[in-house]
Amino acid sequence: MAEYHAQNKAKLISETRRRFEAEYVTDKPDKYDPRDVERLQQDDNWVESYLLWRHSIVDETLKMLDESFQWRKEMSVNDLTESSIPRWLLEIGGIYLHGYDKEGNKLFWIRVKYHVKDHKTMLDKKKLIAFWLERYAKRENGKPVTVMFDLSETGINSIDMDFVRFIINCFKVYYPKYLSKMVIFDMPWIMNAAFKIVKSWLGPEAVSLLKFTSKNEVQDYVSVEYLPPHMGGTDPFKYSYPPLVDDDFQTPLCENGPIASEDEASSKEDLESDGKETLETVSNEEQTALLKKINLTEHTSKAEENEKADSKMKAFKKPLSVFKGPLLHISPAEELYFGSTESGEKKTLIVLTNVTKNIVAFKVRTTAPEKYRVKPSNSSCDPGASVDIVVSPHGGLTVSAQDRFLIMAAEMEQSSGTGPAELTQFWKEVPRNKVMEHRLRCHIVESCKPTTLTLKDNAFNMSDKTSEDLYLQLASSRRESDFSTP
């Protein structure tokens, strides 16, 4: 069934491309931005997003592509930058990206009270919406957003149905599949009739995406940590510009963290401390037997240790997902799996493999810098080599599905040094268009998932594993670098 679905999807994508080229592009090649036409031929996900929004009906999909591509050229969407937007619009804080809903979708804030109906500024405001959505779409490639339509403190001068209709069209035609839901907060009674019209614009299938809320209901969709105080939340965020605020990625704990050997020592200490807790729950005889086993293990030969490490590695499965970027291969590809508090699996790995012929500098950022220790978080990787990044919750704090990690990477010149001072200077000078970025979500599971390696595996459950066994298991995992996708 899955194979049939994949074949049918590929067939529809191919037909859409062929017909759009033959029926729309050939006769009027100047009608669209050639970059969009080229992307349509290369990006399967982009084609699929239009097909899904039109229920895989190719004729309807072609009409939608035609309308969308014309709009993209008219608005010069591919060329929109910060400098394309009047500075005062960016400073006022009426439209921006910040935070996540309970499903992990990015929040796209529209603070309606800052909008005043004015035909002279309408085009600039539309460009600002397009700028944010295009910026997000290029980075996240299909991950939906939740629109936070904040109508608090809104007066009659802020009601602009043309602007609302444009926003609806952005998600209905120009950025299909990007709308998770639209949370309408604190709508004045005077706008009830207006939003009946909005429902007709959305269509019957999308009406369910509208969520009308007050302070009590809004927390059903967004947790208090990402809600401002006037919505009953605790988010201390205050909008300011510059810079742009859409990333929210900050330096985690242990910036320029311990070198690899220190990481391993830390992991070994954690395992030993976990073992002490478990030893307290067993009888004296069992403790004596276990200590004898550890003592014997310490005196095994080097060959036996290597053999044991290799056997342990066979029990580990290779990561099943790898993001293959132009500079680094990153595993896991999309999600970091953390064990729940009950399962006790505290740590996880991000594995970076340098696929270039030069040294690659990398940094790790997170949306919850106070919550995670990341070692190392700012370092470099030699050509063809791999680096394991240990990620662990700090101080008993709880992992959240809303947390995100950002991997940033850039090639260094061979003459460049890789010490802390050199790396700091390198990141100050490297052009933004030379930086590769990849984002990872967090996922909580009851047991270890094969898509990542956790560093604690029921360490002292009275089986044949000793503290040294677990340490060898951790050290051996560093050798695994020949990743392949399934």
| pLDDT number for residue 355 | 94
Bigger pLDDT: 54 or 140?
A: 54
Q: Which residues of 211-220 are buried (b: 16+ CB within 10 A; e: fewer)?
A: bbbeeeebee
pLDDT at 20 over 90: yes
Q: Could you give the CA distance from residue 389 to residue 350 in angstroms, rounded to a whole number?
A: 5
Query: What mean pLDDT do residues 314-322 have?
Result: 53
Bigger pLDDT: 384 or 301?
A: 384
Q: How does DSSP classify residue 366?
A: E
Query: Model's pTM, two decimal places?
Result: 0.58
Of all residues in the chain, the percent with pLDDT exceeding 90 is 34
Instruction: Give the chain's end-to-end CA distance (angstroms, integer).
Output: 18
Are the CB atoms for 227 and 237 separated by under 8 Å?
A: no
Are the CB atoms for 122 and 162 separated by under 8 Å?
A: yes
The torsion angles phi and psi of 413, rounded to 5 degrees, stand at -70, 150
Separation of CA 431 from chain center? 22
Q: How does DSSP classify residue 377?
A: S
Q: How far is residue 99 from each of residues 103, 319, 363, 373, measured CA to CA in Å?
A: 11, 29, 21, 21
Residues 6+ apart with CB under 8 A from 261: none
Question: Which tokens belong to 308?
Answer: 């044991």
pLDDT at 179 over 70: yes
Confidence of residue 255 (pLDDT cuts 50, 70, 90): very low
Residue type, 222: V
| pLDDT number for residue 344 | 57
pLDDT at 402 over 80: no
The torsion angles phi and psi of 390, rounded to 5 degrees, stand at -90, 125
Separation of CA 189 from chain center? 37
Confidence of residue 109 (pLDDT cuts 50, 70, 90): very high
The torsion angles phi and psi of 9, rounded to 5 degrees, stand at -65, -45
Handedness of CA 134, 140, 142, 145 (dihedral sign): negative
| pLDDT number for residue 353 | 95
Q: What is the pLDDT of residues 420-457, one digit of tens each?
A: 888 888 888 888 778 888 888 888 876 544 444 444 34
